[in-house]
Amino acid sequence: MARPIQRNRVVSLLVTYGAWLLSVLLAAAFVWIVRADVLGLLLLAHPDQYVYALLDEVSFFLLALSWLVFTIVSEYWHSRSSEKGTLSTLMHRLDGGLLGLLLIGLVVYLIVL
């Protein structure tokens, strides 16, 4: 007979992966803003349509790849910090940094472009 899962463990997993999902969504928003900033700044140089298309694809590929790496690494960080009991500290540092970067990207998008 299988042992029942402890309620505390289930709650811990839900909180951990909820925090991880928040970090991943903030990172996706940051990547979206950075891509818009890069492409907007690129348009200021009036490139050829083929150069623009190439740089668009390359920037999308690099940003998507970096987001995937962040997703994997942050899942590891969240699970380790949950085991150590330092999940709130990680959330303050990681999500606070992501929010700061997101705000900087929005300021660049709204003011410069």
Give residue 68's pLDDT.
Answer: 95
Residues 68-94 pLDDT 10s:
999 999 999 999 998 888 888 989 999
Residue 7 has pLDDT above 70, yes or no: no
Give residue 3's pLDDT.
Answer: 63
Residues 32-74 pLDDT 10s:
999 988 888 888 888 888 888 898 899 999 999 999 999 999 9
CA torsion angle for 75, 105, 38, 32 (degrees, to 10)?
40
Q: How far apart are CA 17 and CA 35, in angstroms?
A: 27
pTM of full prediction above 0.85: no
